[in-house]
Amino acid sequence: MRESPELVNDYRFDSVELKQTAFRIDGVFLPKSPENPIYFTEVQFQKDPKIYLRLFSEIFTYLRDNDPALRWRAMIIFRSRSIEPTARQRKSVQPLLDSTLVKRIYLNEIEVSETTPLGVQIIQLVVATKKQLLEIVIRLIAQVKQQFADEPYRLQFTEVDW
């Protein structure tokens, strides 16, 4: 599609200086092999309409400062779908979100069974309701006792100060 030269009348040109902002990426998984992508991880437990803008700013700043040739993926972990920015708030980054580059995970939607890894089951404590919490803790303690035969190691997991 070719743009009309008259569109220039609808714009004002500016040269803009951007101040460098300090970023902190929640997690970066660096590959041991250059064939694998680097994974950026962000964990979000409260509403933040600019979470995606911040995440992509962090990613591109990292790539600029390190190795722009790296392939990358991003994973953003939300407590629940309800805190994700609205469609309007994520409009400018929607093409990136629609790509295979970004995976969104909602902790409260993860199906948990006895075969689910223990670490994932423990994460469920974060999103459990007060009503579910005791039941999950009792189940996890029983599972730890069963999985870890070495008593001193098991005690590290099961001794809780209530």
Q: How many independent structural domains does the chain possess?
A: 2
25 and 86 housed in the same domain? yes
Asked if pLDDT for residue 157 goes beyond 60, the answer is no
Q: What percentage of the chain has pLDDT greater than the value 70? A: 91
136 and 79 housed in the same domain? no
Asked if pLDDT for residue 13 goes beyond 70, the answer is yes
Mean of pLDDT values over 21-50: 91
* 97 falls within a domain: yes
Mean of pLDDT values over 137-161: 69
30 vs 12: which has the higher pLDDT: 30
**The overall pTM is greater than 0.75:** no
* 75 falls within a domain: yes
115 and 105 housed in the same domain? no
116 and 102 housed in the same domain? no
* 82 falls within a domain: yes
Using CA atoms, how far residue 59 sits from 55, 71, 77, 85, 128, in Å, is 6, 11, 16, 19, 31
Average pLDDT over the chain reads 85
138 and 160 housed in the same domain? yes
Asked if pLDDT for residue 150 goes beyond 70, the answer is no
- Residues of the domain holding 150: 111-162
Mean of pLDDT values over 22-40: 90
